Amino acid sequence: MLFALLAPLVRVAPRGIAWALAIALVALAAARSARGDETAAPVGASVLDQVRVLALDKAMPAGGARIEVVVGQLDPRLRLAPCERIEPYLPPGVRLWGKSRIGLRCKEGRTAWNVYLPIVVKVWGRALVVPAGAAAGSVIADADLAEAEVDLAEEFTAAIVDRQAVVGRTLAQTLRPGQALRQAHIKSRQWFAAGETVKVIAAGDGFALESSGQAITNGIEGQPARVRTDGGRIVTGVATGERRLELTL
């Protein structure tokens, strides 16, 4: 835009001013050329290979799982200075599971920069799927299930591998054909209701104590619940079975 504005002035300006404007145009062209070396993605194939190796090394898959790393692209709006050596690294607190990221920093270049490269870490393993799909509210039968290789990292909750753990259970949401069955897809059971008499089990290192009490809250599977013991003490534990509350000491 600036070139388009200055060029006509060079043609019509007096000789002295024209020379000054011409010099300005040359300087601007040089500066623009220098900036033109900047790119949205100065990441070569060797750096991408390093990213994959780092992700594979740090992913720490479950036993027998196969890891696949899909490398994404930098934000095209980034304008990064050329760099002689780019170092991939794992940012603090980042979990290499599903959609994630790897850091890239310029270690040898005109300008130091640090960006994040999106990646997807797929963890392939055997788990249960529902080949025909199923509607929310359906009760799972053994015939509804099959075993297949699935991406365990596609969703945050754990995929299910034990048929006995889900047969007879109710689906909390609709599953598409072939979708892996996960803990979040199964409706939680209510083990006891508020007001019912509950067995309270306190387990520790090498010991277990049992008592009883009255439930103050409903006991939903795997969730915290409160019980008033026969001695009047209010305790909080996890509902783990029919009229059963477990405390971990």
**Rg of the chain, C-alpha, whole Å:** 31
Q: What mean pLDDT comes out for the span 67-74?
A: 92
Number of domains the chain is built from: 4
Looking up residue 150, the CATH number of its domain turns out to be 3.90.1210.10
pTM over 0.75: no
Across the chain, where does the E strand assignment appear? 66-71, 83-89, 98-109, 114-130, 146-151, 179-180, 190-192, 197-204, 207-215, 219-220, 224-229, 234-241, 244-248
pLDDT at residue 32 tops 90: no
Q: Interhelix angle for 15-36 vs 2-12, to 10°?
A: 160
The confidence score (pLDDT) of residue 114 equals 94
If asked whether residues 224 and 235 sit together in one domain, one would say yes
Task: Give the position of tokens 């019912």.
Answer: 196
If asked whether residues 116 and 58 sit together in one domain, one would say yes
- The rounded distance, in Å, linking the Cα atoms of 2 and 89 is 40
- Average per-residue pLDDT for the chain: 83
pLDDT at residue 217 tops 50: yes
If asked whether residues 115 and 49 sit together in one domain, one would say yes
Tokens for 46?
């060797």
Which of 183, 177, 179 lies closest to 160 in space, CA to CA?
183
Per-residue pLDDT of 77-99, as tens digits, reads 888 899 999 999 999 999 999 99
pLDDT at residue 30 tops 50: no
Which stretch of 25-29, 159-163, 238-242 has the lowest confidence by average pLDDT?
A: 25-29
If asked whether residues 109 and 143 sit together in one domain, one would say no
Which pLDDT band, with edges at 50, 70 and 90, does 146 fall under?
A: very high
Q: State which residues form the domain around 180.
A: 124-185
The confidence score (pLDDT) of residue 42 equals 60
If asked whether residues 136 and 108 sit together in one domain, one would say no
Query: Can you spell out the DSSP letters for 90-132?
Result: --TT---SEEEEEEEEEEEESS--EEEEEEEEEEEEEEEEETT
The confidence score (pLDDT) of residue 14 equals 54
